[in-house]
């Protein structure tokens, strides 16, 4: 049985950053990774066109000034291969690999109440013991794969975008179908269209998207950012979404039509996700949202010449930002190609797969390759995959049956010495996730170092604190328009999943203030014990 102070589960951006933070505090840790490579979602999502829709300067670690200066991003929005190279560079640069165990999927983690330790068993047959269990399993990392009648009879190849094969997939001469038009489907469409003989995009919901305005980064741009990186990082940490954009000060309807149009036009062309903050009320007020949505619908419509196609491709059932929008590189324009076809599966649903392809209630689409770009069981999916057993034999899946409960997005009562990085109850998917990851990693490292110095062997979120925080997360969400759509923010994307808004929508700056307050109050909302509660109760029992 192997032993360490902290077991980190997952070697993506979060797990590696947590390892670095813990080492800095002299806390030993081992990272267990299911795959044979580090990188998390950036290891698995190798589909053509995969890239981050946060600018590369900001989708990068801030913990090392040297790293910031040394690394040279090549484009404004980094591609998946470049991000994976970056992650591998960081792992080598800071000698992180020596504490990473690959091919070790955690199937089960059980809390031993008497000893206040976690015991984790992995797919390689080993058992690990640790004082603390730190879950760095990602937010959008448990793929959601639909099953259709006849799927097993399909004669072609089926590929899942989030489990993309390592080999090169050759689309030339192939008839390809993509199911799903979220960021993944939208990113791969224009790329695959270039080589496939024919591409059919199966769309259930038309999605909002802004043009990426991607470009190679010049040496001047690189030097300019690196000369002022600290200021840029500061702006990011103090912005609502961790992207550096501050909300406009004047409300949408408080400016003249000309001013409003000019402001929307400006942010449309420069800011990607910053568009949502052009005015402070776009995600808060239905009328303001309708104005921003109409602007974007017009813009998307201008990118599609065919009026019938335009009607299908422009969203009509939800407001901008109430589900995650996309930042695309030529998605709408791809439909002008002779070899690209849209299948509106809301109008003509998929009936079944056949040996030849996909049959909708309108026609048979003959296909050689079908790609599922159908998204993820977001936020809780990956956390609930391993069997995590807390106090009294209760599993995390049982505890969260009606939705996740957390104290400050950090931990959940009944699961002592277990923490979650960038999961439910924290800004997570509503933020530049790397900012949220770094915030948690450093905060936990300080917390664990403090507890060690204080002789605390067991810490546990209280039920009162987690109820207060979870209610607050709901209250903040109710102030927004997020509740008006089914999305992966609120469980609406998975049949049977509790419909609960999961991330904290109050912004990364506000969230950090809560974290700071918690730490300042010697980690309020947590019970801290020098003897495990189970031992104490045995003692009490004995004395009685």
The CA-atom distances, in angstroms, between 370 and each of 83, 176, 199, 200, 352 are 26, 6, 10, 9, 13
Question: Among the candidate windows 75-83, 370-378, 447-455, 519-527, which touches ligand NA7 by CB under 6 A?
Answer: 370-378
Nearest to 39 by CA among 74, 7, 81: 81
Q: Does 185 bind ligand NA7 (CB under 6 A)?
A: yes
Q: Which stretch binds ligand NA7 (CB under 6 A): 54-62, 181-189, 229-237, 242-250?
A: 181-189
- Give the residue from 230, 256, 31, 14 showing the smallest Cα distance to 122: 31
The span of 173-181, 231-239, 299-307, 335-343 binding ligand NA7 (CB under 6 A) equals: 173-181
- 307's CB contacts (< 8 A; 6+ apart) are none
In DSSP terms, which residues pair with 528 in a beta bridge? 459
- Of 43, 122, 141, 181, which one interacts with ligand NA7 (CB under 6 A)? 181
> DSSP characters for 203-244?
ESS---EEE----BPPHHHHHHHHHTHHHHHHHHHTSTTSSS
Helices (H) and strands (E) in the chain, counts: 16, 20
Find residue 107's DSSP bridge partners.
Answer: none
- Grouping H, G, I as helix, E, B as strand and the rest as coil, residue 370 is strand
Contact string 127-166 vs ligand NA7 (x = CB under 6 A)? -------------x-----x--------------------
Q: Does 188 bind ligand NA7 (CB under 6 A)?
A: no
Binding mask of the shown chain, residues 324 to 343, with x at each position contacting ligand NA7 by CB under 6 A: x-------------------
134 versus 373: smaller Cβ distance to ligand NA7:
373
| Residue 375 interacts with ligand NA7 (CB under 6 A): yes or no | yes
Torsion angle of the four alpha carbons 257, 258, 261, 265, in this order, in degrees rounded to the nearest 10:
-170
> Is 435:508 a contact under the CB 8 Å cutoff?
yes
**Residue 39 binds ligand NA7 (CB under 6 A):** no
Interaction between residue 373 and ligand NA7 (CB under 6 A): yes
Nearer to ligand NA7 (CB atom), residue 375 or residue 416? 375
Shortest reach from residue 187's CB to ligand NA7, in Å = 8
Among 20, 332, 443, 488, binds ligand NA7 (CB under 6 A): 488
Q: Which is nearer to ligand NA7, 132 or 505 (CB)?
A: 505
Query: Min. distance of Cβ 205 from ligand NA7 in angstroms?
Result: 3
12 binds ligand NA7 (CB under 6 A): no
Q: By CB under 6 A, is residue 365 in contact with ligand NA7?
A: no
At 352, give phi and psi (nearest 5°). -165, 160
DSSP string, 157-208: EEEEGGG--SSPPP-BT-EEEEE--SHHHHHHHHHHHHHBSEEEEEESS---
- Report the interface residues with ligand NA7, using CB under 6 A: 140, 146, 179-185, 204-205, 324, 345, 373-375, 488, 493
């Amino acid at each position: 049985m192997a032993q360490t102070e902290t077991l980190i589960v997952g070697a993506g951006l979060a797990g590696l950053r947590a390892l670095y933070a813990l080492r800095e505090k002299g806390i030993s840790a081992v990272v267990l990774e299911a795959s044979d490579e580090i990188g998390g979602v950036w290891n698995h999502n190798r589909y053509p066109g995969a890239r981050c829709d946060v600018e590369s300067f900001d989708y990068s670690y801030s913990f090392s000034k040297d790293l910031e200066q040394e690394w040279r991003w090549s484009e404004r929005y980094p591609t998946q291969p470049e991000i994976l190279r970056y992650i591998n560079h960081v792992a080598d640069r800071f000698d992180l690999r020596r504490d990473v165990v690959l091919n070790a999927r955690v199937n089960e983690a059980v809390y031993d109440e008497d000893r206040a330790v976690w015991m984790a068993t992995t797919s390689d047959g080993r058992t690990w013991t640790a004082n603390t269990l730190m879950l760095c399993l990602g937010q959008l990392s448990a793929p959601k794969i639909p099953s259709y009648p006849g799927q097993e009879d399909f004669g072609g190849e089926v590929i899942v975008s989030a489990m993309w094969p390592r080999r090169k997939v050759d689309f030339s001469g192939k008839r390809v179908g993509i199911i799903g038009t979220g960021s993944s489907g939208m990113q791969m469409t224009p790329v695959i269209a270039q080589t496939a003989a024919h591409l059919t995009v199966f769309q259930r919901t038309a999605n909002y998207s802004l043009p990426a305005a991607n470009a190679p980064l010049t040496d001047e741009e690189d030097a300019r950012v690196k000369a002022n990186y600290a200021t840029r990082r500061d702006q990011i940490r103090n912005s609502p979404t961790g992207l550096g954009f501050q909300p406009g000060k004047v409300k949408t309807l408080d400016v003249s039509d000309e001013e409003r149009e000019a402001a929307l036009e400006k942010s449309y062309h420069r800011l990607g996700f910053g568009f949502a903050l052009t005015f402070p009320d776009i995600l808060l007020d239905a009328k303001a949202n309708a104005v921003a949505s109409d602007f974007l619908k017009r813009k998307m419509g201008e990118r599609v010449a065919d009026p019938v196609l335009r009607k299908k491709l422009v969203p009509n059932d939800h407001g901008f930002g109430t589900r995650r929008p996309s930042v695309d590189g030529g998605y709408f324009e791809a439909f002008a190609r002779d070899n690209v076809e849209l299948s509106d599966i809301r109008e003509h649903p998929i009936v079944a797969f056949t040996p030849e392809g996909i049959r909708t209630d309108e026609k048979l689409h003959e296909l050689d390759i079908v790609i599922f770009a159908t998204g993820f069981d977001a936020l809780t999916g990956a956390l609930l995959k391993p069997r995590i057993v807390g106090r009294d034999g209760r599993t995390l899946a049982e505890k969260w049956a009606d939705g996740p409960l957390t104290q400050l997005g950090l931990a959940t009562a009944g699961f002592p010495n277990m923490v979650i990085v960038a999961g439910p109850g924290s800004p997570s998917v509503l933020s530049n996730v790397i900012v949220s990851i770094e915030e948690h990693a450093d905060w936990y490292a300080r917390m664990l170092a403090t507890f060690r110095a204080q002789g605390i062997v067991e810490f546990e979120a209280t039920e009162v604190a987690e109820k207060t925080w979870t209610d607050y997360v709901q209250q903040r969400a109710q102030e927004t328009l997020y509740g008006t759509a089914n999305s992966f923010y609120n469980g609406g994307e998975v049949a049977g999943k509790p419909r609960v808004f999961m991330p904290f929508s109050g912004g990364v700056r506000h969230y950090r203030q809560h974290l700071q307050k918690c730490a300042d109050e010697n980690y309020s909302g947590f019970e801290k014990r020098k003897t495990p509660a189970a031992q104490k109760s045995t003692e009490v029992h004995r004395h009685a």
